[in-house]
Structure 1
Amino acid sequence: MLPKSYFDIFLVILLVPILNLFVYLHNSFSTSLSYLGLPYFIEPDITVDADHVSSSSSPATRRCNIPLSALLLRELLPVVKFSNLVDPPNSCSVCFKDFETEDEIWRLTNCRHIFHRSCLNCWMGYDQKTCPLCRLSLVPHDKEEMYNERLWRLCNNCQL
């Protein structure tokens, strides 16, 4: 018979490899699901369609870490080619990189500031709803009521 302290050590020595095995199995299973196109099957969360959010859609097409407000803003803000602008700035104020003629950009309707589409996507991904430069609302003034109604409906639909 082993003394009590040896038994505790034995349990730890036995449990650590078992826990490592579970972690390995979880990671393997998650990777397999990811390759099958089901990366969030194991850990469900509030779900929204990241590509298109409409007021009539029900939540639950796929998990997304993008705030609902950002998804709605992406629908409201016009995306244009840099080459189509008249007298634009030389560089993006977020990343400080020069604009290329084929870059997709967002020109904010309230303040007319211009950003790379990906830069503003990242900014909105932090649940920011204002211009990174002047802090005016990203929501166009003429669409504020519609934006608030749709956001309210989507938030109510996503409650667990």
Structure 2
Amino acid sequence: MGFPVGYTELLLPKLLLHTLSLLGLIRKLISIFFHLLGLPDFHQPDIVSPDSSSLPDSRFHSVSALLVREILPVVSFSELLDPPESCAVCLYEFEDQDQIRRLTNCRHIFHQSCLDRWMAYHQMTCPLCRAPFIPDELQEAFNERLWAASGIPDFVAEDSHVPGL
């Protein structure tokens, strides 16, 4: 029992694979042509350029993300010494006027909008190496600010007049 002898030489699967390969090559050539003309990629509409802001409304951001944004420095790309060529989140090349966030723990840099979008999804580690955004020496101060921003200390202070606490 087994497959027929000529099964591996069927014409349809080979023809289908060659057709798909040819279509992929044509797509790549068209993409290169559009890139050379300076036109955006027409077949990838879900990629957001670092210039556009697709972040949700700031009132819905987590308190920790807002505090991390305050802590992480924002600089112009032209001010950096020996920077990488492109952002690891969006894969777009950096330009001199781009606003950049430099992570203090690992020294990786990203477009400000890319890292802010990353934090909007409650990610608090580097997209490349997973080092935490907040350095160890600032973690205690960050936790205190987060605790104060949560409003819990005010609630505890109001109930401190209860005997036995």
Shared fold, TM over 0.5: yes
Q: Which runs of 5+ in 1 are unaligned?
A: 1-61
Tell me how far apart the structure 1 counterparts of residues 87 and 58 of structure 2 sit (CA, whole Å): 30
**Equivalent position of 1:76 in the other structure:** 71
Count of residues in correspondence between the two structures: 99
Tell me how far apart the structure 2 counterparts of residues 157 and 122 of structure 1 sit (CA, whole Å): 27
Pair 1:67 & 2:62 matched: yes
**Equivalent position of 1:104 in the other structure:** 99
Q: Contact (CA 8 Å) 2:105, 2:133: kept in 1 or not?
A: yes
Aligned-residue sequence identity (percent) comes to 55
Tell me how far apart the structure 1 counterparts of residues 74 and 58 of structure 2 sit (CA, whole Å): 24
In the TM superposition, what whole-angstrom CA distance separates every residue of 1:69-88 from its partner, at most 9, and x where no partner exists? 11000110111110111110
Pair 1:89 & 2:90 matched: no
Alpha-carbon distance, 1:141 to partner: 2.6
Question: RMSD of the TM alignment (CA)?
Answer: 2.3
Question: Which 4+ residue blocks in structure 1 deviate beyond 6 angstroms?
Answer: none
After the TM superposition, which residues 108-147 of structure 1 pair with which residues of structure 2 at under 5 Å, given as runs? 108-147=103-142
Q: Contact (CA 8 Å) 1:76, 1:140: kept in 2 or not?
A: no
Tell me how far apart the structure 1 counterparts of residues 100 and 130 of structure 2 sit (CA, whole Å): 18
Tell me how far apart the structure 2 counterparts of residues 88 and 130 of structure 1 sit (CA, whole Å): 20
Q: Contact (CA 8 Å) 2:147, 2:153: kept in 1 or not?
A: no
**Equivalent position of 2:151 in the other structure:** 156
Q: Contact (CA 8 Å) 1:129, 1:137: kept in 2 or not?
A: yes
Tell me how far apart the structure 2 counterparts of residues 159 and 146 of structure 1 sit (CA, whole Å): 18
Task: Give the 3 Å change call, closer, same or farther, for CA 159–96 of structure 1 in structure 2.
Answer: farther
Tell me how far apart the structure 2 counterparts of residues 97 and 122 of structure 1 sit (CA, whole Å): 15
What's the TM-score, normalizing by structure 2?
0.56
What's the TM-score, normalizing by structure 1?
0.58
Tell me how far apart the structure 2 counterparts of residues 142 and 65 of structure 1 sit (CA, whole Å): 28
Q: Which runs of 5+ in 2 are unaligned?
A: 1-56, 156-165
Tell me how far apart the structure 1 counterparts of residues 58 and 74 of structure 2 sit (CA, whole Å): 24
Task: Give 1 or 2 for the bigger CA radius of gyration.
Answer: 2
Alpha-carbon distance, 1:159 to partner: 10
Tell me how far apart the structure 2 counterparts of residues 139 and 83 of structure 1 sit (CA, whole Å): 25
**Equivalent position of 1:20 in the other structure:** none
SS in 2 for 1:86: coil
Tell me how far apart the structure 1 counterparts of residues 62 and 77 of structure 2 sit (CA, whole Å): 27
